[in-house]
Amino acid sequence: MAGGVRTNVEIAGVSLKNPVLIASGVCGYGLDFRCLADYRPEAVGGLVLKGTTLKPRDGNPPVRLVETAGGVLNSIGLQNIGVDALISDVLPQLAGSGSAVILNIAGHEIGEYVTVAERLAAAGGFNALEVNISCPNVAKGGMAFGIEPCTAAEVIGAVSHAVSGRFPVIAKLSPAAGDIAAVGLACVDAGADALSLINTVPGMAIDARRRRPVLANGVGGLSGPAIKPIALLRVRQVFLALKKARKNTPLIGMGGIVTAEDAMEFILAGATAVQIGTATFYDPQIGAAVAEGLEEILLDNYRCSGRDKDLNIRHYIGALEE
Amino acid sequence: MGNLEPTTDEQATTAPAGRNTVLHETGRVIESLPAYGKHHILRIHAPKSAAVITPGQFLHIYCNGPIEQISDRVLDPVPGPSGLKRLKRKPLLRRPISVFRRDSAQGEISILFRQVGLGTEVLSAYGAGDNVDILGPLGHGFDLDGDAPALLIAGGIGIAPLTALAAELLGRGRSVTVLAGMRDALSFPLLLDNSSTILGCKAGIALMCEIGAVSAVASEAGEPGTHPGLVTGLLEMFLEQDEAEDYEAFICGPGIMMARISDMLIEAGVPGQALLEERMGCGIGACMACVCRTRTREEETKYSRVCVDGPVFDIKEVVW
């Protein structure tokens, strides 16, 4: 950490050495990246592991992913090893990996979320639980819960009760919600310790020659730079709604972050931390680059202003001037 | 993953053990050669990759990196000799591309690819001196431990990775027979050793002949010297030989071709390995995008990741 720069933040009691997390779905269970020769897991604030359900899930048939203009449309369908294998095979390998481990859970019904959360909370070995109420790729795969404030609150309330304070609960919000601020507030009232947003934007790609959807599932979730303006607006809306309601629940912003400047935009909009997803596909180490780039932005600002507070990332959170 | 027992899960999904180290290398284009139609060859100085990559493994190439240095060429409003048009947008993802030839002593690899979309279109605009951002080697290559005579069966651009394989197998003293199928002889994408013309299949299979592989070519257009029709026709004739089942097959081509070829090989009792292709995200097993259906030992099926569980699979394992 150069010249008094401080980029460490705290999300619901979890200390992150910097605000950059790798998003759920792009880093598997945190182990695949270890094949990289120059991998530095400690360079990012943490990893959010693949969405996990009660039983192992097969996922959707291929084609599961297609590049679109400025983005990627995917329909993996929550292929995962199930909560028991996560506990027995994965978590022990992640102990002492040098950054936070956040688990992401998904389910078909509230009971499934609760069982998964209970088993994980009992097992331990991680730092926080992100609840996916916004997966667009599975029928009843969560997004249905995240569209309306009342159903979102039901899931988050049940999971919070199951975890009963042992781990912070993060609700992952869908941009498909009609009123995302209302959903966010409902989740906070139901016990969410933090909110992460946005999940992918439902979308479609068409192969005109074959007159068919490109993805076998027809519909997918759009991610990447194409969705960044949508994500920034959602983060801002939720941040202002929480502020108005006098809640200081932290936000984790994501959607198309590629550079440190992108990350800073989310922080100014109101995010305490950010997640990077799609960009890791072309640069698996991009999280480290963004974290280092944030330090440089703070240093540059300090050099221009001479104000000490410009060296601390916390003074940028929600500091957008409107 | 899927319906596996937890012990198998660990091997399949959570243990990078048994995987090679993946390097990030900036290669440099030595030569860029437009081949027939939409085919293109890049000779790249990439000594780290060249030293370790094995046939069937692939490189994940970022076709966006040197966009500035090639922008003049790509943005040329007049289509160039390779048919390039104005670039509509920048590619975002890397493109998985197998190695066509490798010269580890010179630190060189060559890739042979067909322009099928934005990424490969940009890649074909790279010229000598341009940097190439490479992640690799990735995936499990062909299992080369056997000693049976090798039968290589290629469909279209599938010839590219099988050319690297042929060289490796011949170097190991194994006999190599190549059966290749294509739409027409002129599309046979084997522009080699700076020869600028290919006039029919004889020249088209020049490399395979030159390095000692016995070759036959099927062409849907049916030019002289080729077997008119599909490569399955060539395989049918091959399998009529008594000693056919002594061979080990290595196949690469379109999915529908590999499905048919696999059925024929399995029925004839010929073991084989198939190199699969699928749209990829990360290329290192994390995103679960590039899956294919495979059989488990318990005769159930599951989705395996082409990038790390493959791209080479036993033909009996794949559910086509």
Mean pLDDT confidence for A248-273: 98
Over 80: is that where the pLDDT of A139 sits?
A: no
Contact A62 B285 (CB under 8 A): no
Count Cβ atoms below 10 Å from residue B70 Cβ, excluding itself. 22
Contact A59 B91 (CB under 8 A): no
Residue A35: which of B9, B21, B62 has the nearest Cβ? Answer: B21
Contact B279 A65 (CB under 8 A): yes
Question: Under 8 Å CB-to-CB from B132, ≥6 apart: which residues?
Answer: B26, B27, B28, B29, B42, B44, B46, B61, B62, B65, B66, B126
Query: What per-residue confidence (pLDDT) applies to B122?
Result: 85
Q: Is residue B294 left, alpha or beta, with left meaning phi > 0 and alpha meaning psi from -120 to 50?
A: beta
**C-alpha distance across the termini of chain B, in Å:** 19
Q: Which helix (H) or strand (E) holds B96?
A: strand B94-98
- CA B42-B47-B53 angle, to 5 degrees, is 80
Over 50: is that where the pLDDT of B192 sits?
A: no
Mean pLDDT confidence for B64-88: 49
Q: In whole angstroms, what is the distance from residue A270 CA to residue A244 CA? A: 13
Residue A89: which of B6, B285, B288 has the nearest Cβ? Answer: B6
Torsion of CA A17, A18, A20, A24, to 10 degrees: 20
Q: In whole angstroms, what is the distance from residue A40 CA to residue B68 CA? A: 29
pLDDT tens per residue, range B282-314: 999 999 999 999 998 888 999 999 999 999 999
Question: To which residue do tokens 């304070």 refer?
Answer: A165
Determine contact: B84 vs chain A, CB below 8 A: no
**Confidence band, pLDDT 50/70/90 cuts, at residue A90:** very high
Q: In whole angstroms, what is the distance from residue B159 CA to residue B219 CA? A: 14
Count Cβ atoms below 10 Å from residue A304 Cβ, excluding itself. 9
CB A251 within 8 A of CB A19: no
Query: What per-residue confidence (pLDDT) applies to A322?
Result: 85
Residue of chain B whose Cα is closest to the Cα of A89: B10
The domains located in chain B, with CATH, are 23-138 (2.40.30.10), 150-270 (3.40.50.80)
Q: In whole angstroms, what is the distance from residue A76 CA to residue A5 CA? A: 39
pLDDT tens per residue, range A207-247: 999 999 999 999 999 999 999 999 999 999 999 999 999 99
Determine contact: B282 vs chain A, CB below 8 A: yes
**Prediction ipTM score:** 0.90
Q: Hey, which bits of A39-135 come out as E strands?
A: 46-48, 65-68, 71-74, 100-105, 128-132
The distance of A242 to chain B (nearest Cα, Å) reads 33
Over 90: is that where the pLDDT of B20 sits?
A: no
CB B312 within 8 A of CB B318: no
Count Cβ atoms below 10 Å from residue A70 Cβ, excluding itself. 16
Q: What is the mean pLDDT of chain A?
A: 94
Which residues on chain A are in Cβ contact (under 8 Å) with B64? 282
Query: What per-residue confidence (pLDDT) applies to B195?
Result: 33
Residue A27: which of B19, B286, B303 has the nearest Cβ? Answer: B286
Catalytic residue from among A135, A150, A187, A304: A135
Mean pLDDT confidence for A258-268: 97
Question: To which residue do tokens 């060249």 refer?
Answer: B50
CB B60 within 8 A of CB B281: no
pLDDT tens per residue, range B215-256: 677 777 666 667 788 889 889 888 988 888 999 999 999 999
Determine contact: B134 vs chain A, CB below 8 A: no
Mean pLDDT confidence for B159-173: 89
Q: Which of A272-276, B4-8, B170-174 has the lowest mean pLDDT?
A: B4-8
Q: Give the closest residue to B154 by CA, choosing from B176, B124, B121, B123.
A: B176
Q: Which of A39-43, A63-67, B37-41, B108-112 has the lowest mean pLDDT?
A: B37-41
Q: In whole angstroms, what is the distance from residue B315 CA to residue A45 CA? A: 43
Count Cβ atoms below 10 Å from residue B83 Cβ, excluding itself. 12
Q: In whole angstroms, what is the distance from residue B231 CA to residue A318 CA? A: 63
Contact A88 B6 (CB under 8 A): yes
Say how many CB pairs under 8 Å bridge A and B. 141
Query: What per-residue confidence (pLDDT) applies to B186?
Result: 59
Query: What per-residue confidence (pLDDT) applies to B198?
Result: 30
What size, in residues, is chain B? 320
**Confidence band, pLDDT 50/70/90 cuts, at residue A10:** very high
Q: What's the number of CA atoms in the CB half-sphere (13 Å) around residue A273? A: 33
Over 80: is that where the pLDDT of B22 sits?
A: yes
Which residues on chain A are in Cβ contact (under 8 Å) with B288? 28, 50, 59, 64, 76, 79
CB B307 within 8 A of CB B96: yes
Over 90: is that where the pLDDT of A277 sits?
A: yes
Mean pLDDT confidence for B64-93: 55
Distance of CA A22 to the CA centre of its chain: 8
Query: What per-residue confidence (pLDDT) applies to A208?
Result: 95
Mean pLDDT confidence for B57-86: 60
Q: Which helix (H) or strand (E) holds A158?
A: helix A149-163
Over 70: is that where the pLDDT of B154 sits?
A: yes
Q: Regarding predicted confidence, which is higher, B80 or A247? A: A247
A46 bridge partner residues = A21, A100
Query: What per-residue confidence (pLDDT) applies to B124?
Result: 87
Q: Regarding predicted confidence, which is higher, B121 or B45? A: B45
Q: Give the closest residue to A279 by CA, choosing from A228, A225, A201.
A: A225
Phi, psi of A103, rounded to the nearest 5 degrees: -95, 145
Question: Under 8 Å CB-to-CB from B99, ≥6 apart: which residues?
Answer: B53, B55, B57, B58, B59, B109, B110, B111, B161, B164
Count Cβ atoms below 10 Å from residue B196 Cβ, excluding itself. 8
Contact A79 B9 (CB under 8 A): no
Q: In whole angstroms, what is the distance from residue B82 CA to residue B97 CA? A: 19
The distance of B117 to chain A (nearest Cα, Å) reads 11
Distance of CA B145 to the CA centre of its chain: 20
Determine contact: B292 vs chain A, CB below 8 A: yes
Residue of chain A whose Cα is closest to the Cα of B134: A282
The distance of A220 to chain B (nearest Cα, Å) reads 12
Q: Which helix (H) or strand (E) holds A230?
A: helix A228-244
Which residues on chain B are in Cβ contact (under 8 Å) with A35? 16, 19-22, 284-285
Q: Which helix (H) or strand (E) holds B312?
A: strand B312-314
pLDDT tens per residue, range B83-142: 444 555 678 999 999 998 899 999 999 999 988 888 898 888 888 888 899 999 999 999
Mean pLDDT confidence for A174-181: 94
Mean pLDDT confidence for B71-90: 50
Q: In whole angstroms, what is the distance from residue A253 CA to residue A196 CA? A: 6
A254 bridge partner residues = A275
A135 is annotated as an active-site residue: yes
Q: In whole angstroms, what is the distance from residue B217 CA to residue B204 CA? A: 9
Q: Give the closest residue to A172 by CA, choosing from A131, A143, A200, A136.
A: A131
Mutate one of A67, A72, A88 to test the B interface: name it (highest B CB count within 10 A). Answer: A67
Mean pLDDT confidence for A161-177: 96
Q: Give the closest residue to A64 by CA, choosing from A53, A54, A72.
A: A72
Contact A65 B289 (CB under 8 A): yes
Q: In whole angstroms, what is the distance from residue A88 CA to residue B314 CA? A: 30
What size, in residues, is chain A? 322
Q: Regarding predicted confidence, which is higher, A158 or B206? A: A158
Mean pLDDT confidence for B8-37: 72
Question: To which residue do tokens 């990775």 refer?
Answer: B161
From the number of C-beta atoms within 10 Å of its C-beta (0-12, 13-18, 19+), residue B89 rates as exposed
**Confidence band, pLDDT 50/70/90 cuts, at residue A145:** confident
Contact B288 A63 (CB under 8 A): no
Determine contact: B51 vs chain A, CB below 8 A: no
Domain A9-59+78-201+224-316 has CATH 3.20.20.70: yes
Distance of CA A83 to the CA centre of its chain: 19
**Confidence band, pLDDT 50/70/90 cuts, at residue B26:** very high
Residue of chain B whose Cα is closest to the Cα of A85: B6
Contact B10 A70 (CB under 8 A): no
Mutate one of B1, B94, B287 to test the A interface: name it (highest A CB count within 10 A). Answer: B287
Phi, psi of B292, rounded to the nearest 5 degrees: -135, 160
Query: What per-residue confidence (pLDDT) applies to B88?
Result: 56
Domain boundaries, chain A: 9-59+78-201+224-316
Q: In whole angstroms, what is the distance from residue B176 CA to residue B208 CA? A: 9
**Confidence band, pLDDT 50/70/90 cuts, at residue A136:** low
Determine contact: B1 vs chain A, CB below 8 A: yes
β-pair type (B131-138, A273-276): unpaired
Q: Which helix (H) or strand (E) holds A91?
A: helix A91-94
